[in-house]
Structure 1
């Protein structure tokens, strides 16, 4: 099982929307079973899931203090992916969550304040040597600030080639427990989410190979 944590130090980055959409896309792509865990006290992901008519992805009710044991329980249930939504500002607790991740996704809106806020998260991740990937969210098509943000982020870590655009469907679908992919399965939101998910899987695979190679060198 691969554990993917979504975190941003700044509210409004779209982390919960990203978490829900990627989990649904993973199931849609045949990569399940997929489970969701909500560690944010606001419980937005949990509320979305409660409004959801579809059974998948599943959600596991796991207290933050027992997160490691909860992840192991999901692994025993043959889960393929676990997506964990986090609170934006609980730095110490999030540091513990990061250590359980195979990959941390850091959603960033293309704005100066969001870029500045990313520094704290990136510092924690680099200090603990945890793989991470920036994801530009709510991006304006063909806007110079989007390209500028991508260029700035690339100096601090890897950035997903696919951006999540500023589309009404993303927020509208969440109100009744759905996703933009389900509102319009062949629409632009569905296409960019599917492409992003493929990129994330490629990153996970590359990280696994890197870890395996490093292990062989240590024991060679």
Structure 2
């Protein structure tokens, strides 16, 4: 079983959106991956998403400080292939336990100074728990050089944590899909730019999980 955790100390970075799309893409794989989402975020965005969703996969369970590790142990016993953990922002209680059990930690970063300034706590937590992290540039504007500049700063700030080559743009179809209880690959044509970005990122994450 692999554990993919989406974690950052900065709120509003699109963390839950990223977690949902990666979980759905994993469940859509041809070999029938068994995927479970654990919603550890106090805002319960992933849990609310399931209320408008008709499909049963991937199941989303709300977790708390007392149940999270137990869920991971049970998921492994039941043969779950991938657990996607949607962590809350800021310094979460028991975050160390989650990060230490994670095979890969996705850190969404919006281009710009505010997200960069808030990363120190996140990077420190990843390093202290000897976790493998990867930055994901998220909500990237269609124009401008901010994304490239942010990637350069990340490489200097935390050279031990790579930046994903695939980027997620600031695109309305992402939020429209979630409102409909779907992920972008269920909502839009494969030719849609947003769907292509999510698929490319998932393939990159999948390679990093091996």
TM-score scaled by structure 2?
0.92
Q: Find the structure with the greater CA-based Rg.
A: 1
- 1:194 and 2:199 equivalent? yes
1:178 is paired with a residue whose SS is coil
Q: Which aligned segments of 4 or more residues in structure 1 are displaced greater than 4 angstroms? A: none
Instruction: Give the corresponding residue for 2:61.
Output: 60
Match of 1:170 in 2: 174
1:2 is matched with 2
Residue equivalent to 2:82: 81
Q: Could you state the TM-score of these two structures normalised by the residue count of structure 1?
A: 0.88
The aligned counterpart of 1:90 is: 91
1:99, CA displacement in angstroms? Answer: 1.3
Tell me the distance in 1 between the aligned counterparts of 2:93 and 2:69: 16
- Measured on the aligned residues, the alpha-carbon RMSD in Å equals 1.4
Are residues 26 and 199 of structure 1, via their aligned partners in 2, closer, same or farther at CA, if it must alter by over 3 Å? same
Displacement after TM superposition at 1:50 (Å) = 2.0
Residue 11 of structure 1 aligns with which residue? 11
Q: Which runs of 5+ in 1 are unaligned?
A: 206-220
Q: Which residue of the partner structure matches residue 124 of structure 2?
A: 123
Normalized per residue, the structure richer in helix is: 1
Deviates most, 128-137 or 63-72: 63-72
Structure 1 Cα separation of the partners of residues 14 and 86 of structure 2: 11
Q: Which moved more, 1:15-24 or 1:95-104?
A: 95-104
Which ranges in structure 2 are unaligned for 5 or more consecutive residues?
none
Number of residue equivalences: 205
CA distance in 2, matches of 1:39, 1:61: 6
